[in-house]
Amino acid sequence: MTVILDGKKLRDKILEELKTRLEKYTLKPTLVVILVGDNPASRIYVNNKKKTAENLGINSIVINYPSDVSEQVLLDKINELNTDKNVTAILVQLPLPEHIDKFRVINAISPKKDVDGFTPENSGRLFTGEAPYVYPCTPKGIIRLLEEYNIPLEGRHAVIVGRSNIVGKPLAQMLLNRNATVTICHSHTQNLPEITKTADILVSAVGGKIIGINMIKSNCVVIDVGIFKDENGKTRGDVDFASIAPLTSYITPVPGGVGPMTIAMLMSNTVELFEKNL
């Protein structure tokens, strides 16, 4: 029988735990989000983050710059936030406009306030095995969801479709650290279905209809990270859920799977950085 991995239920449980954890402190974490431009999707994500943080008693500040802001203005602001004792977590909402070098901007964030875990120090630590200050939110949320349902990872073949710095690559490392055997696929991969069919755990992080019924092995675990609007304006994931779900042992829905876990892990990272800074 297929089990639906319920990201919303687990998110609510985690947020409740974080709220209780924060109640014992007089000081509160302060999360600063830098948003550049007026991309509607980014605005929705940032508003959700702010609302969720405030519900937990986290101070949440959004600094919104126009899309033509200079890179130097962002770097100066990040330097100021790095030295501000009241600020415990900094997030730069991606994507940034093309005239800004996102690597320079992310690299400017102090690793101890890097709530996304994207700075070279934190990603370097992840890859060398030294614990980063925090782990990137989406991969961390996926691992947390798999653990909640006691899905074993050791020795299993995990296939990840998508190699972004925010999902595919860090997730591969986190699975490797848990002794899974990991294969990463991308847009140049040949014979994708032949590879995905060997997956005990299949993770898709592409952002398009990519995983069909001919691409999975019976009883595998399917994690759908993708989220996009289809031709009818409906929110959907990479996986053809209706046809594939009955063949799987566990599967995440879209929406309601990985998305809620990502925001829960952002809050968890905010609390962790705050506690490390006390």
Residue 260 Cβ vs ligand NAP, minimum distance, rounded to whole Å:
8
Task: Indicate which single residue of 55, 187, 198, 219 sits in contact with ligand NAP (rule: CB under 6 A).
Answer: 187
Q: Is 116 a catalytic residue?
A: yes
Count CB neighbours of 241 within 10 A: 20
Residue 270 interacting with ligand NAP (CB under 6 A): no
17 close to 56: Cβ distance less than 8 angstroms: no
Name beta bridge partners: 185.
Answer: 161
Give the separation between CA 225 and CA 204, rounded to whole angstroms.
Answer: 6
Catalytically annotated residue among 6, 49, 169, 238: 49
Residue 138 interacting with ligand NAP (CB under 6 A): yes
Residue 210 interacting with ligand NAP (CB under 6 A): yes
3-state SS, residue 195: helix
Give the separation between CA 254 and CA 190, rounded to whole angstroms.
Answer: 27
Q: What is the DSSP letter of 33?
A: E
Name beta bridge partners: 61.
Answer: 32
Q: Is 190 a catalytic residue?
A: no
Task: Indicate which single residue of 189, 209, 240, 245 sits in contact with ligand NAP (rule: CB under 6 A).
Answer: 189
Residue 268 interacting with ligand NAP (CB under 6 A): no
Residue 249 interacting with ligand NAP (CB under 6 A): no
Q: Is 240 a catalytic residue?
A: no
Residue 64 interacting with ligand NAP (CB under 6 A): no
User: Cβ closer to ligand NAP: 88 or 262?
Assistant: 262
Residue 258 Cβ vs ligand NAP, minimum distance, rounded to whole Å:
4
Residue 127 interacting with ligand NAP (CB under 6 A): no
Residue 185 interacting with ligand NAP (CB under 6 A): yes
Catalytically annotated residue among 93, 113, 114, 140: 93
Residue 110 interacting with ligand NAP (CB under 6 A): no
Question: Which pair of tokens denotes residue 109?
Answer: 């964030």
Choose among 109, 135, 124, 132: nearest CA to 31: 109
User: Cβ closer to ligand NAP: 49 or 77?
Assistant: 49
Residue 269 interacting with ligand NAP (CB under 6 A): no
Catalytically annotated residue among 6, 77, 113, 116: 116
Residue 183 interacting with ligand NAP (CB under 6 A): no
Beta strand extents in 84-229 (DSSP E only): 89-92, 157-161, 181-185, 201-204, 221-224, 228-229
75 close to 100: Cβ distance less than 8 angstroms: no
Task: Indicate which single residue of 51, 99, 104, 186 sits in contact with ligand NAP (rule: CB under 6 A).
Answer: 186
Residue 259 interacting with ligand NAP (CB under 6 A): yes
Beta strand extents in 13-99 (DSSP E only): 30-36, 59-65, 89-92
Q: Which residue is nearest to ligand NAP (CB)?
A: 207
β pairing state of 3-4 and 181-185 = unpaired
Q: What is the DSSP letter of 247?
A: G
How many Å separate Cα 257 from the centre of its chain? 12
Return the active site residues: 49, 93, 116
> What residues make contact with ligand NAP under the rule CB under 6 A?
138, 161-164, 166-168, 185-189, 192, 205-207, 210, 225-228, 258-259, 262
